[in-house]
Chain A
Amino acid sequence: MGRKLLTEHINVEGIDTFDVYRKHGGYRSVEKAIKTMTPDEVVEEVKKSGLRGRGGAGFPTGMKWSFLAKPEGVPRYLVCNADESEPGTFKDRQLMTKLPHLLIEGMITSSYALGARTSYIYIRGELLYVLRILEKAVAEAYAAGFLGKNILGSGYDLDLHIHPGAGAYICGEETALLESLEGKRGNPRNKPPFPAVSGLYARPTVVNNVESIAAVPVIVNEGGNEYAKIGIGKSTGTKLISACGHVKNPGIYEIEMGVPVEEFIYSDEYCGGIWKGRELKAVVAGGSSVPILPKDLILKTAAGEPRLMTYESLSDGGFVTGTMLGSGGFIAMDETTCIVKNTWNFSRFYHHESCGQCSPCREGTGWLEKVLHRLEHGHGQMHDIDLIVNVAKQIEGNTICPLGEAAAWPVTAAVRHFRDEFEWHVTHPHEATRPGAVYHGGLVLA
């Protein structure tokens, strides 16, 4: 049984209220940081902890914090990215619904460390009910003196605002988020300058994921070194994984970094195996944008080592035989899943969500979707398979923001590992379009 650092008290009755949360040790990190530590010491602890950004990219949070420009007399901002919209990822929603005060505590401690006097939580527009939960919690924190002027008599002031988005996936990209927060159209900005130099309202800004910020209180309370003891190598601490798809027990699991993927899927402590007694076919391990892997490669690396739930192990083999931990959106697919249909579905999402600012992504995502639609519906030709790979390569790396890559990776990976299935759709259009028809070394009817 792994340690639960974030979700230890998630099922306690009334934990979303200030009093209950406080009774269970809440807001200790704020007291400890503000009363006994300098901001730089807090940053140092986070650096020591080895915490890596939980939003998907896995960039070390402490290092990100230390890049923040600190010119005299210029305000700086901390913005929490709660615009969780990657298909398959729903960990932040759960965390904010059940433990709103954990995020707020993290925001206060982190803002103190960064010297921010105003901080924002940018929450996905679809999660209006979560917004209300957070607003209630913020009001409680203000009433208890943990937010507002002169927190705990220290002279440190902090205002925390919650701002909902308007339903665009692209606003989860940090610079698009900042544009949206400023009240503009959510188009990603050209970089450089990076937000650490010129972010919100052209001021130095740090943008962190919900889960990263929620980990800060634990790190401050227990110490960075303690936190770093959990996990393997450069993947430290615990990670929330949102398991979905064809598993017996879908849901949110807090795992210690380093749990073998096989154990995560088949152990009763976690997913409990594949539903209806079926076989695992493929896994998308970190939200829809990361490369899909077939069963053999997700359970074991190409070298035959067991694959672990860590940043390094999942990306072992690069994109040829590996994938990414990403945001922790773990989608398992059983043998009745049509990979072509699934890839088309992902493509449709990215086509719909492209902001339309730069040409490769605007035009390419639509092109990919149309060709995949053709392939899935039995109108594809053999050269279409190479075409989609080529179009995806033309998008990848040539766009302003990472949405281009997010749209390209699922397509290239699906063709890389499941090419025979794409070819079968071309050679057997009538069979492929029958309801419930799936390729599994031949036609199978689900």
Chain B
Amino acid sequence: MAKITYDGIEIEVPDGTTIMNAARQLGGKLAPPAMCYYTPLKGSGGKCRACLVRVAAGSAKDPRPMPKLVASCITPVQDGMVVENTTSQQVLDVRKGIVEMLLINHPLDCPVCDQAGECDLQNFAFEHGISTTRYEEERRTFDKVDIGPLIQLHMTRCILCYRCVYTADQLTDGRVHGVLGRGDASEIGTYIENVIDNDFSGNVIDVCPVGALTDKTFRFKQRVWLTKPVDAHRDCTHEKCGGRVTLWYKGNDVLRVTARKDENGEVKEWICNECRFDKKETSDWVIDGPAHIDRSSVVSANHYELPVLNQQVIADMPESTMRELAQNPPLKLGGLNG
């Protein structure tokens, strides 16, 4: 076991746990944001740099601070480690920079994007970004590529988190899509033009943090926050599919079917394409009850909350943050120190 201090809160976790997962045990809202890391996908993480944190003390044995900010999703804890997330101004500044970098080539077409309302990038930008842009150049755009009858690839919105690549690698045999090109010309694509066609291909829609991969059977049907999520299950005959899903209702119609997600917005169980695309009648399913959506706050509460700031341990908070806090008091850290 290793005891670490995270934003002034002490927590004990098993050796080998990453900083991110230790923080998530304290509650999803306290954890650093993650745009590429996805627990069920082996090897994911480290790419988006949204979860950078400052390690003020490496371990009890070697209490020197780490020279650079580290990606919390891939850095394992050490006994005696002291981690600063929202208590470090440097971390908050860098995070602002990461939002800016992710947005400069993002089309910001949220009003017509199906992901809006449950978009990781939207949440991340709202919580950590600034409301203006310094980017005057032309944005990068891509032509839409047809990758089959069920999934729409809209590369212009992609933030290259690689999640869909890992998903295809780890869930299915013979991945046909991957990252082509390099630098800001990298794109997700099939080489040479190919169709993503297998029983589990639909899961790439669920893991996509933005609206780059969307469900063609749901596109433009409804804003997600106007639909009602309901948990349901059925006896799926596919050996790898448990048939436990979330149905998204509008009135009496099932508009779409997705996998169930946990409080960190990660898929609990992968589902097959038959469940996702073909079973859109209530009679196909046994209803378990309303689904609780934690992270995507537009869907869950119709309003946003500021991220939790642990004010007690911030020595000299910048003036702008103080002003912001006075207007919007932060959440209390129930049970831990509040």
Contacts and interface: CB of A to CB of B under 8 A. Distances in A.
Interface stretch (A116-124, A208-216, A338-346, A394-402): A394-402
Nearest to B103: A363
B101 A356 contact: no
B100 A185 contact: no
B49 A359 contact: yes
B71 A190 contact: yes
A87 B35 CA distance: 34
Interface in B259-301: none
Interface string B206-241: 000000000000000000000000000000000000
A387 interface: yes
Question: Which 7 pairs from chain A and chain B are nearest by CB?
Answer: A356-B186, A394-B97, A190-B46, A354-B183, A363-B101, A366-B184, A370-B137
Contacts of B45: 190
Nearest to B43: A190
Nearest to A387: B134
Nearest to A394: B97
Interface in B152-182: 159-160, 162, 178-179, 181-182
A358 B69 contact: no
B68 interface: yes
Contact of B102 (A354, A357, A359, A399): A359
B265 to A, nearest CB: 19
A398 B134 contact: no
Contact of B47 (A185, A352, A358): A358
Interface residues of A, number: 28
Interface string A325-362: 00000000000000000000000000111111111101
Contacts of B134: 387
B46 A356 contact: no
Nearest to B45: A190
Contacts of B68: 397-398
8 contacts: A185-B178, A351-B184, A355-B183, A356-B160, A356-B179, A360-B101, A362-B184, A367-B104
Given A351-B183, A387-B134, A397-B69, A360 B47 contact: no
Contacts of B162: 357
A394 B47 contact: no
A220 B52 CA distance: 44
A363 B94 contact: no
A358 B97 contact: no
Interface in A182-222: 185, 190
Interface of A is mostly: helix
B183 A394 contact: no
A357 B185 CA distance: 11
Given A168-B182, A357-B47, A362 B160 contact: yes
B98 interface: yes
Contacts of B178: 185
Counting chain B CB atoms within 10 Å of each CB, which of A355, A357, A364 scores highest?
A: A357
B48 A358 contact: yes
A397 B90 CA distance: 12
B159 A398 contact: no
B162 to A, nearest CB: 8
A152 B4 CA distance: 55
A366 B183 CA distance: 8
Contacts of A356: 160, 179, 181-186
Given A358-B48, A359-B48, A360-B97, A367 B183 contact: no
B105 interface: yes
A398 B97 contact: yes
B142 interface: no
Given A356-B185, A387-B134, A394 B49 contact: no
B94 A398 contact: yes
A365 interface: yes
Counting chain A CB atoms within 10 Å of each CB, which of B74, B102, B140, B183 scores highest?
A: B183
B135 interface: yes
B20 to A, nearest CB: 13
Contact of B101 (A357, A370, A394, A400): A394
Contacts of B179: 185, 356
A352 B48 CA distance: 19
Given A356-B160, A362-B186, 14 more contacts: A170-B182, A185-B178, A351-B184, A353-B182, A353-B183, A355-B186, A356-B181, A358-B49, A359-B98, A362-B183, A367-B101, A367-B137, A394-B97, A398-B68
A92 to B, nearest CB: 23
A133 to B, nearest CB: 29
Contacts of A399: 49
A36 B41 CA distance: 51
A351 B182 CA distance: 10
Interface in B80-114: 94, 97-98, 100-102, 104-105
Nearest to A189: B46
